[in-house]
Amino acid sequence: MGVEGRAAWSAAMRPMRARPRVAAIAAAVIVAAALVAPARESEAALPAVVDGQPMPTLAPMIERATPAVVNIATEGHVQMRLNPLFNDPFFRRFFNIPDQLPERKTQALGSGVIIDSSRGLVVTNNHVIANADQIRVKLRDGRVLEAELVGSDPDTDVAVIRIPPKDLTALPLADSDALRVGDFVVAIGNPFGLGQTVTSGIVSALARSGLGIGEYEDYIQTDASINPGNSGGALVNLRGELIGINTAIFSQSGGNIGIGFAIPVNNVRQVVDQLVKYGQVKRGYLGVELQDLDPELAQAFDITQTEGAVIVSVAQGSPAEKSGLRQGDVVVAVNGRAVRSAFDVRNQIGLTRAGDNLEMEIVRDGGRRRINSEVSERESEQAATGAATGVRNPALSGATFSDIPDGIPEYQGESGVFVADVERGSRAWRSGLRPGDLITSVQRQRVGNLDQFLELVQGEGDQLLVGVRRGNGAAFMVLK
């Protein structure tokens, strides 16, 4: 997808939070009701039996599933967005502007799903509880409970909260890998803050990615009506088993047009296990750079495969190198799932827990082979590649750095330090640093390599003036 195309997708993706439209909706409902003549009781009742057969209904399944779906309301504070000049401490000092930027109060409505009644665990979307100082959960029976945050993962948009484990109902988890396009599904949530609502549809597509919604994308697409406020709600099959967590819609108006997306429950399960155990996700690392396989590359490699990911480079000492992966290998499947692009491989690596194995099917020299790799933690990644994590400067918190890797043409021949990764929401991220940036100077001193960079930042305070190259552009940035 091109830059303009991805921008259009990102602009069209609407967070599914309620907006203050309840009064307007209620008025519309009242007007609509006034236009319809009331039906007589005999006309309104449907027969319980037709031709000796009971009328089909989802009511029994809905009655079992809805107690496990909750409404979530949050309150919090965020810093107000001001002119970028306010980030400059010299500008603030000159105009006597306080260091503490003004904040505004935030409120959000969403949904959640009880997945463990004995421990009171509720799964929802990260964007539902982000920046929340207070989280309230309303159960189907009317109880309102205070919740605590167990952990959240912005990259997958999954969060876990905990409520008192008393008289709770949990949804059983299905196997989302068994889903097929055309399977019937039901969405349960809290659209527009109206209260618990149930809609139905089918699975429209599977393994949707490259949408610009999150860092790791592998979505179920459905035409079951999903609207703002459904975020974090349940997508269930006709047995009342959880198959996905509703997270986003594609819409130009903010309302449902039949294109909704849910995180598959198998992916949710992997993230939740780590959030409950560690409070965060310890992402796996393999140590490869990849690019999409296209017809031109396929011809150059003399292979008939048309979809896959080409390994551009393998980091020295990395799990990939230890397992025997090589530059030029074409990855066509990971853990039995077909690979269409480099994005698919990155997704699988990122969703794999450190210490687990990845089985990769590759094409090399015209033949196919399987290679097992044990992914490592991020810390192991940096030791293997000569990158630095946990740099002792608060302004760089959340960022990982390395010498300039091979396979990035625009930076070849340059001097500086490559930004390998930046955790979303971290201090470095909030200052504007992004993966792929090249830091060329620190405090106006030229940076030649990683070792020099570490020396420059270790002795400085918690605010850094850095020169940054991003693609073909360059700018100074204040990290604090």
The whole-number pLDDT of residue 244 equals 94
* SS3 at position 354: coil
Nearest to 434 by CA among 480, 470, 393: 470
pLDDT band at 246 (very low <50, low <70, confident <90, very high): very high
pLDDT band at 357 (very low <50, low <70, confident <90, very high): confident
The whole-number pLDDT of residue 400 equals 84
Question: Quick check: 162 pLDDT over 70?
Answer: yes
Return the CATH fold of 10-27+58-279: Thrombin, subunit H (2.40.10)
Mean pLDDT over 219-242 rounds to 90
Cα 354 to chain center, whole Å?
18
- The mean pLDDT value of the chain amounts to 77
pLDDT digits 0-9 by tens, 248-287: 877 666 666 778 899 999 989 989 998 998 888 877 788 8
Nearest to 228 by CA among 257, 203, 207: 257
Contacts of 283 (CB under 8 A, 6+ apart): 155, 350, 354, 377, 378
pLDDT digits 0-9 by tens, 421-473: 887 767 788 788 888 888 888 887 888 888 888 888 875 566 788 888 887 67
The whole-number pLDDT of residue 14 equals 46
Give the Å distances, CA to CA, from 269 to 61, 263, 300.
23, 10, 40
The whole-number pLDDT of residue 115 equals 94
CA distance 442 to 396: 12
CA distance 149 to 127: 13
pLDDT digits 0-9 by tens, 53-110: 777 788 899 999 999 999 999 887 765 555 555 555 555 566 666 555 566 777 888 8
CA distance 227 to 230: 6
Contacts of 182 (CB under 8 A, 6+ apart): 202, 203
Amino acid sitting at position 463 = Q
The whole-number pLDDT of residue 442 equals 85
Is 336 in contact with 344 (CB distance < 8 Å)? no
Beta strands in 80-176 (DSSP E): 103-116, 121-124, 132-138, 144-153, 158-162
Residue 469 pairs in a beta bridge with 438, 474
- Catalytic site positions: 127, 157, 231
pLDDT digits 0-9 by tens, 105-149: 778 888 999 999 999 999 999 888 888 888 999 999 889 999 999
Is 73 in contact with 109 (CB distance < 8 Å)? yes
The tokens of 243 are what?
A: 């198959």
Specify the residue for token string 């209260």. 195
Question: Quick check: 9 pLDDT over 60?
Answer: no
Residues of the chain with CATH 2.40.10.120: 10-27+58-279
The whole-number pLDDT of residue 182 equals 93
* pLDDT higher at 3 or 435: 435
Mean pLDDT over 179-184 rounds to 93
* SS3 at position 99: coil
* SS3 at position 402: strand
CA distance 116 to 165: 9
Q: Which CATH architecture has domain 288-379?
A: Roll (2.30)
Measure CA of the first residue to CA of the last residue in the chain; give whole Å.
34
Helix ranges (DSSP H) in 247-393? 265-278, 295-300, 319-323, 342-350, 378-385
Nearest to 281 by CA among 379, 350, 346: 350
CA distance 100 to 463: 15
The tokens of 301 are what?
A: 């490699």
CA distance 113 to 23: 27
Residues of the chain with CATH 2.30.42.10: 288-379, 386-479
Nearest to 237 by CA among 185, 311, 188, 278: 185
Q: Domain 386-479 has what CATH class?
A: mainly beta
Amino acid sitting at position 96 = N
pLDDT digits 0-9 by tens, 391-405: 567 778 778 888 887
Mean pLDDT over 195-220 rounds to 84
Most confident of 232-246, 252-266, 410-424: 232-246
pLDDT digits 0-9 by tens, 296-355: 788 877 888 878 888 887 887 888 888 889 888 899 898 888 888 887 888 888 778 778
∠ CA 86-92-98, rounded to 5°: 100
Contacts of 410 (CB under 8 A, 6+ apart): 471, 472
Nearest to 73 by CA among 116, 133, 28, 151: 133
Contacts of 212 (CB under 8 A, 6+ apart): 6, 9, 10, 13
Amino acid sitting at position 196 = Q
The whole-number pLDDT of residue 65 equals 92
